[in-house]
Amino acid sequence: MKQPPGYEDPTHPGHVCHLQRSLYGLKQAPRAWFKRLQEFLLSTGFQGSKTDVSLFHYTAGDSRVYLLVYVDDIVMMDSDKALIDSLLHHLASTFKIRDLGTPGFFLGIETLFDTDGLILSQRRYMKDILTRAGMAECKPLATPAVVTQPATPTLEPFENPTQYRRIVGALQYLTITRPDLSYSVNRLCQFMHSPTEDNWASLKRVLRYVKGTQDYELRITPSSSTELHAFSYSDWASCPIDQKSTSGYAVFLGGNLVSWLSRKQRTVARSSTEVEYKGLADVFAEVTWIVSLLQELGLFSGKPASLWCDNLGATYLAANLVFHARTKHVEIDYHFVRDKVAFGDFIVSFVSTKEQLAIFTKPLPAARFQNLRD
């Protein structure tokens, strides 16, 4: 570090400036800003969430305000308009803020309201990705991933890896409202360090699928049910490179899809039962977090969450407290599944593969993919 040009101190040339406040654009600026905002909100009666550090809630009588922070973008929710106006006026007395009214376009996500509820759309974002990739006029495809893989994949490196990384990174953000892209994007992300021509061809196929489904959006509908149910699915040894498996889950709150994941497991599994059991542990952890959040929001029904798995061995293993010899090599942290089932927090049930909604582990034929997506 050195003194900035025009502000050098000739008597102390080795000294540097000591910042009295954080500067916008520095790495520590968001953290310093959040700390300042957090201190103010706590001093005005807000309580910080223990489940999500970005969430604050304020209670006044029967009214409750939820405030969600993303750096310097804030969303407030409440049924009492007067209380929100009062809190906004209080915020404006300390911070320079603008009230943009009902969210219409937030963090690249368009919010649409209709008679059936709320729609989250990233249509503009999709058009921007296609334009940046030079595929705005490409022909659409019915699925984002091909079912059959080439017998001899090419290892020729792609000539522009920076473009590959930029587009795949953009697609990652698109999965916020497009769960049907989760598996394909997760697969593309595994080759960010050295993409090949085959990887680029797979990326173009995903973009052609996006081209034909730009009007697809995520719908959130009002529901009297706050029961949680989740689908867990794993594909054993799906990666031909390291023989690791891919797990995926879909979590529903009432009839609304609220959480989903497609991820390669950290370790190699020795059987399909083991890989499904590890997949259950992942979805158990996610549902446990969602239950904690719902309890803080006062929306938890108190009923045990239902988890659906299409592997009978994994469902038996979750319910049977006898430690089988064939599971001695499984890490201890995965066995918290049994504790959750024994305490009645979760109910693990079998579901047919045809009705397995977690389509996040492998490519599927067009007819089956479209049926499960719908």
Taking the CA atoms of the chain, what radius of gyration do you get in angstroms?
24
The secondary element (H helix, E strand) that includes residue 199 is helix 197-212
What does the alpha-carbon distance between residue 42 and residue 322 come to, in Å, rounded to a whole number? 48
Same domain as 241, residue 204: no
Same domain as 252, residue 162: no
Residues 345 and 304 sit within 8 Å (Cβ to Cβ): yes
**What is the pLDDT, as a whole number, of residue 357?**
83
Same domain as 176, residue 43: no
Q: What is the pLDDT of residues 2-23, one digit of tens each?
A: 888 888 899 998 898 877 766 6
Mean pLDDT in residue range 91-115: 86
If you average pLDDT over each of 97-106, 157-166, 241-250, 266-275, which comes out highest?
157-166
Same domain as 288, residue 161: no
Q: Could you give the percent of the chain with pLDDT greater than 70?
A: 94
φ and ψ at residue 263, rounded to 5 degrees: -155, 145
Residues 245 and 265 sit within 8 Å (Cβ to Cβ): yes
Same domain as 198, residue 126: yes
State pTM to two decimals.
0.81
Same domain as 125, residue 85: no
**What is the pLDDT, as a whole number, of residue 330?**
67
Same domain as 236, residue 333: yes
Residue corresponding to tokens 């693990």: 348
Same domain as 349, residue 277: yes
**Binning pLDDT at 50, 70 and 90, where does residue 82 land?**
confident
The one-letter amino acid at 229: H
Q: How many domains does the chain have?
A: 3
Same domain as 228, residue 196: no
Same domain as 261, residue 175: no
Q: What is the pLDDT of residues 271-328, one digit of tens each?
A: 777 888 888 888 888 999 999 999 888 888 888 889 988 888 788 777 775 556 556 6
Sign of CA dihedral 112, 118, 119, 124: positive
**Binning pLDDT at 50, 70 and 90, where does residue 165 land?**
very high
Mean pLDDT taken over the chain: 85
**What is the pLDDT, as a whole number, of residue 358?**
81
Same domain as 239, residue 355: yes
Residue corresponding to tokens 């407030």: 76
Collapsed DSSP state (helix, strand, coil) of residue 163: helix
**Binning pLDDT at 50, 70 and 90, where does residue 162 land?**
very high
**What is the pLDDT, as a whole number, of residue 332?**
64
In this predicted structure, which of 76-80, 169-173, 235-239, 328-332 has the lowest mean pLDDT?
A: 328-332
Residue 298 belongs to a domain: yes
Among residues 341, 295, 304, the alpha carbon closest in space to that of 227 is found at 304
Residue 116 belongs to a domain: no
Q: What is the pLDDT of residues 199-253, one digit of tens each?
A: 999 999 999 999 999 999 999 998 777 889 999 888 877 777 777 888 889 999 9
Same domain as 356, residue 299: yes
Residues 244 and 264 sit within 8 Å (Cβ to Cβ): yes
Residue 110 belongs to a domain: no
Which residues span the domain enclosing 145?
Answer: 121-212
CB atoms within 10 A of CB 107: 12
- Does residue 131 carry a pLDDT above 90? yes
Residue 153 belongs to a domain: yes
